């Protein structure tokens, strides 16, 4: 057995694992003492962004900035949704569970970024040892900013009037929160084209993805089925192929609409396969949902229907248009309509079609 000492084991190398052989050792037989691939870690960075999936996706532009700012940094990301993150761009992706949380409390980082205001995330941010902290912590039993940089984003979550007056996108805000200037950095995302998925579309026409659902939390966003059916008719008249998108929750709705209109509906799929399906679209029509974040990440043209959120919140990178109902919405961040009949009914299919055709002409 070889004689090793602490000076010949590079625990500060990007590839070092500690409990398993590293990649250079496994693939090329290199050992620490004379390893030509030894890469010292410049900064150890922990990102805490647990969920929801859409929020995790739209946090990924930070990866580009961190890697540009700190070459050879080591990034650990703690989340509820590890499968959505690009594994080839993050050194360690951890799912929130007891084992990983326990381990992190004994780790040390140069930079900790906690972007969640969940109390458990803030409590962990208090416990993890780090030289610099950004985002939120737990103080006096409540969530508070860790420093002044987080104040703006903190206040928009506390007071509706402050939130309504905000003109910064979410990505702009989280860059500001970490002391960076947002300069149009794109999402970091995997399209899963390498998985071998096959799609049988009925034609070679431009494909318009129609994401018909919006989850259970904010049903005020729902567009009537009759409007989707009319939009499909208009798309078909304009020689475009409508493709119905959604998850298991939208299966019955999409099956019914497909039967009524002849629109293509291929079913509901695993998250990775759904992402790849969205990647086949030329343009996506959606409300503010996970599908919206996926579409932005895949750099798709988009028509975004919005009523209850601040439209400035969404960074679309110049590839889409946000359209709102003709009737003013009075249900800011509310899950159910105050008046019983959603303002979304006043958003006409003809208005959506006009926006779609406008976006397609920009090719």
Provide the residue ranges of all domains of the chain, joining segments of one domain with +.
44-177, 204-361
CA 206 to chain centre: 25
3-state helix, strand, coil in the chain (%, to 5): 40, 20, 45
pLDDT at 52: 85
Q: Are 310 and 159 in contact (CB under 8 A)?
A: no
In this predicted structure, the answer to whether residue 332 has a pLDDT above a threshold of 80 is no
Q: Which two tokens stand for residue 1?
A: 């057995």
Structure tokens at 154: 């903190």
Mean pLDDT of the chain: 91
CATH domain 44-177 topology: Rossmann fold (3.40.50)
Q: Which of 46-50, 125-129, 318-322, 338-342 has the lowest mean pLDDT?
A: 338-342
pLDDT tens track for 212-257: 987 666 567 778 889 999 999 999 999 999 999 999 999 999 999 9
pLDDT per residue as tens digits for the range 73-122: 999 999 999 999 999 999 999 999 999 999 999 999 999 999 999 999 99
Task: Give the long-range contacts of residues 338-343, CB within 8 A, separation 24 or more.
Answer: 342/220, 342/222, 342/307, 343/307
Token digits of residue 253: 């709705």
CA atoms within 13 A on the CB side of 264: 20
Q: Which residue do the tokens 């990440």 mark?
A: 297
pLDDT over threshold 90, residue 328: no
Q: Residue 51: pLDDT above 70? A: yes
How does residue 347 score in pLDDT terms, banded at 50, 70 and 90? confident
Q: Is pLDDT at 339 greater than 90 in this prediction?
A: no
Residue 179 near residue 134 (C-beta atoms within 8 A):
yes
Is 27 a residue whose pLDDT tops 80? yes
On the 0-12 / 13-18 / 19+ scale of CB atoms within 10 A, 110 is middle
pLDDT of 343 reads 75
The 10s digit of each residue's pLDDT in 152-172 is 999 998 888 888 888 999 999
Alpha-carbon gap, residue 360 to 240, rounded angstroms? 11
pLDDT > 70? residue 35:
yes
Is the predicted pLDDT of residue 6 greater than 60, yes or no? no
**So what's the pLDDT on residue 42?**
96
The CATH superfamily label for domain 204-361 reads Glycogen Phosphorylase B; (3.40.50.2000)
Query: What pLDDT digit, counting tens, does each position of 176-211 carry?
Result: 999 999 999 999 999 999 999 999 887 889 999 999
Per-residue pLDDT at 175 exceeds 90: yes
The pLDDT of residue 3 is above 70: no
pTM of the predicted protein model: 0.90
Question: What percentage of the chain reaches a pLDDT higher than 70?
Answer: 92
Q: What is the pLDDT of residues 246-291, one digit of tens each?
A: 999 999 999 999 999 999 999 999 999 999 999 999 999 999 889 9
The residues with which 27 forms a beta bridge, in sequence order, are none
For residue 2, pLDDT over 90 is answered with no
């Amino acid at each position: 057995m070889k004689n090793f000492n602490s000076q010949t084991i590079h625990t500060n190398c990007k590839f070092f694992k500690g409990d398993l052989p590293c990649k250079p050792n496994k693939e090329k037989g290199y050992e620490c003492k004379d390893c030509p691939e030894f890469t010292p870690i410049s900064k150890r960075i922990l990102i805490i962004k647990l969920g929801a999936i859409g929020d995790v996706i739209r946090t990924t532009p930070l990866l580009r900035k961190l890697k540009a700012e700190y070459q050879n940094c080591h990034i650990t990301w703690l989340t509820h949704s590890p499968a959505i993150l690009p594994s080839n761009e993050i050194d360690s992706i951890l799912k929130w569970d007891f084992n990983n949380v326990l381990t992190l409390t004994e780790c040390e980082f140069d930079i900790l970024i906690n972007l969640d205001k969940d109390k458990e995330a803030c409590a962990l941010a208090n416990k993890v040892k780090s030289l610099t902290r950004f985002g939120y912590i737990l103080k006096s039993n409540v969530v508070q900013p860790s420093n002044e940089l987080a104040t703006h984003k903190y206040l928009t979550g506390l007071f509706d009037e402050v939130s309504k007056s905000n003109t910064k996108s979410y990505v702009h805000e989280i860059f500001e929160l970490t002391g960076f200037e947002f300069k149009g950095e794109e999402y970091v995302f995997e399209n899963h084209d390498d998985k071998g998925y096959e799609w049988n579309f009925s034609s070679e026409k431009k494909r318009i993805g129609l994401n018909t659902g919006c989850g259970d939390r904010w049903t005020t966003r729902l567009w009537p089925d009759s409007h989707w059916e009319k939009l499909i008719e208009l798309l078909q008249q304009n020689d475009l192929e409508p493709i119905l998108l959604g998850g298991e929750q939208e299966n019955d709705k999409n099956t019914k609409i497909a039967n009524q209109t002849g629109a293509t509906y291929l079913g509901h799929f695993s998250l990775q396969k759904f992402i790849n399906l969205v990647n086949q679209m030329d343009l996506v029509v959606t409300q503010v949902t996970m599908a919206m974040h996926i579409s932005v990440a895949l750099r798709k043209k988009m028509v975004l229907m919005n009523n209850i959120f601040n439209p400035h919140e969404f960074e679309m990178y110049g590839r889409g248009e946000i359209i709102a109902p003709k009737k003013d919405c009075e249900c800011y961040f509310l899950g159910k309509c105050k008046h019983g009949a959603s303002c979304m009914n006043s958003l006409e299919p003809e208005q959506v079609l006009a926006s779609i055709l406008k976006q397609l002409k920009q090719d």
